[in-house]
Amino acid sequence: MPIIVKNLTHVYMPGTPFESVALRDVNWNVEDGEFWGLIGHTGSGKSTLIQHLNGLLKPTSGEVIIDGVNINERGVNLREIRQKVGLVFQYPEHQLFEETVEKDVAFGPKNLGLPEEEVTRRVREALELVGLKYDEIKDRSPFELSGGQMRRVAIAGVLAMKPKVLILDEPTVGLDPRGRDEILRQIVRLREKQNMTVILVSHSMEDIAKLVDKIAVMHKGRMVESGTPRQVFKNYKALASIGLDIPQVTHLMIKLKEKGKNVATDVLTVEEAEAEILRAARGKGHA
Amino acid sequence: MAAEILAEGVCYRYSQAPDMALKDVDLRIRKGEFVAIIGPNGSGKSTLAKLFNGLFVPTKGKVTVDGLDTRDRDNVWKIRQKAGMVFQNPDNQIVATVVEEDVAFGPENLGVPPEEIRRRVDEALEIVELKDFAQKPPHLLSGGQKQRVAIAGIIAMRPDYIIMDEPTAMLDPVGRKEVINTVKRLNREEGKTIVLITHFMEEAVEADRVIVMSEGYVIMEGSPREIFSKVDKLKAIGLDIPQVTELAHRLRGRGLTIRNDVLTIDEMVECLCPLL
């Protein structure tokens, strides 16, 4: 389900002393099945942008076209759009409210008016997609789970709606490294299994560099970069000037290159850096 | 009287929990030190922090702050004045509607005279570099700024020890850097003893000493270099290692001659240049 964002501008509280432009003329094409990382600082417009993708916010000007439909046109059923575009907010566990995990995850599909067996089937499937065992966890209170588990239950609640596009706003914030890696692994698996389009909003280049197909960088309401991680990291000086870090290993290779060493600089992971340095060292007869 | 926080044989069990959250912890935090505590979720880091200023009292063993036993309820106020705490969520720590009033809240409660409060608030805001924000409502500040207001509120109470429980976990990278720079300044320029609990290894690298917790035990203790050279052990308990440290470790495994305690990009460049 392709998403096209065209000349999107959003102004908060226009015509008041608090008027502020959150998005300026953003253009963005997300192809079916792509995995995007959306990066930028707090206040750069990332959250405002994603809230346009399921109609939570309306553009001040410009268009959001999902699956060929301009979602802000009169007569468009936003409920349908929100079912297709699932949005997982920051700290989604704060939105858990039911007595049991099963009831919480079932809340969305029940509201769709689905028959009970279908609801149960979806709840089971959604919980298993996020790596939780349905039978073990369904009757527990969501509030007695660990932080990482609560977050996965909250994500399952969105998955139970069977969205075609999954947008996650900082899904790993506040988790420890193990919790973070677990969530990221689940997202990768999900995408492979369900062939979903995924947009991952993040502060961390190191986390997403190795996962996503493409990165879009927001700065002061504009989309200042977009492309594959390798393309985007080439402009590391531009990224640094807006205070965004590239992965440490990418930075290392660039510094080696600047010292006149014959190494490729487009590495994204520790493994790639290892291979590239070994190659160069062998050329010099070391290793 | 010893100028230190001392934990001796400390165990702690939460009410109704079957197991101890902390098991036989012996630790000494010396005055003037900057100590980082790392460990996965549930390893006991936060529990330990809360024992350091008497928020929790040990189930077994004892904690003393400058010789004052936290089990003695008469010591509680003295201890809290010596050891201030900063928590994860800045929004939960701010009580007033104007920044300087928030910073004044602590010393006011200590009964500090008004002129002295004024002096302390100005000084605290100066240290966290938020002087220009004194009259602003806190909700208009960024996460990093709010967390610095919370820190200023602690500084204004003039503690010797500042214990920070993941103060950067909810901040973006810019906010994180602001807070860590403030923490470093507090230690190096103001001479405050810092205990920093964190998940971020780039923050732990800045400390004088790193303590690693796992399943309620202190399992490692040493300088950042000593600790981060134990790549396999840290990975096994689910902790991060700086990318360059891991790369150095892997390249050594492949036969390259590289130090095993590389922590920064520049050190790694230095190690690699002769080989490439």
* Domain map (residue ranges) of chain A: 3-229, 247-287
Which residues of chain A does B143 touch, with a Cβ-Cβ cutoff of 8 Å?
42
Question: Taking all residues of chain B, what is their mean pLDDT, rounded to a whole number?
Answer: 93
> Does residue B116 carry a pLDDT above 70?
yes
pLDDT on residue A146: 80
The pTM of this model reads 0.84
The answer to whether residue B244 neighbours chain A at the CB level (below 8 Å) is yes
| Contact residues on chain A for B212, CB-CB shorter than 8 A | none
Tell me the per-residue pLDDT of B184-218, one tens digit each, with 9 for 90 and over: 999 999 999 999 999 888 899 999 999 999 999 99
Q: Which of A18, A152, A218, A252 would best serve as a mutation to test chain B binding (most B beta carbons within 10 A)?
A: A252
pLDDT for A287 equals: 65
Fold entry, domain B4-239:
Rossmann fold (3.40.50)
Q: What mean pLDDT is predicted for residues B160-164? A: 96
Q: Tell me what pLDDT residue B223 has.
A: 96
Give the integer Cα–Cα distance in Å for B12 and B18. Answer: 11
CB B97 within 8 A of CB B137: yes
The answer for A129, left when phi > 0, alpha when psi is -120 to 50, beta otherwise, is alpha
Q: Show residues of chain B in contact with A247, CB under 8 Å.
A: 243
Instruction: Going from the first residue of chain A to its last (287 residues), give the mean pLDDT of each consecutive group of 10, the final group possibly shorter.
Output: 96 89 97 94 89 95 95 91 92 91 95 94 93 92 86 93 93 84 88 91 84 94 94 87 86 94 92 95 82
pLDDT range class, residue B245, cuts 50, 70, 90:
very high
Interface size between A and B, measured as CB pairs under 8 A: 101
Q: Which of B204, B194, B216 is nearest to B85 (CA)?
A: B194
- Give percent of chain B above pLDDT 70: 100
B255 close to A (CB below 8 A): yes
| Residues of chain B positioned with their CB less than 8 A from the CB of A270 | 243, 246-247, 250
Contacts of B253 (CB under 8 A, 6+ apart): none
- pLDDT band of B71, cuts 50, 70, 90: very high
Band of pLDDT at residue B1, cut at 50, 70 and 90: low
Nearest residue of chain B to residue A284 (CA atoms):
B276
Model pLDDT for residues A152-192, shown as the tens digit of each residue: 999 999 999 999 999 999 998 878 888 888 889 889 988 88
Question: Cα distance from B256 to chain A (closest Cα, Å)?
Answer: 6
Structure token digits, residue A182: 């677990």
Give me the residues paired with residue A162 across strands: none
Q: What percent of chain B has pLDDT over 90?
A: 80
Task: Please judge whether B247 and A281 are an interchain contact, meaning their C-beta atoms are less than 8 angstroms apart.
Answer: no
Burial A170-181 (b: 16+ CB within 10 A, else e): bbbbbbbbbbbe
* Residue-level pLDDT at A56: 94
Q: Which residues contact B143 (CB under 8 A, 6 or more apart)?
A: A42, B90, B170, B171, B172, B175
Domain ranges for chain B? 4-239, 242-276
Q: Which superfamily is assigned to A3-229 in CATH?
A: P-loop containing nucleotide triphosphate hydrolases (3.40.50.300)
pLDDT at A176: 82
Which chain B residues contact residue A252 at CB under 8 A?
A: 243-244, 247, 265, 268-269
- Model confidence over B14-29: pLDDT tens digits? 987 888 999 999 999 9
Q: Do A274 and B273 touch (CB under 8 A)?
A: no
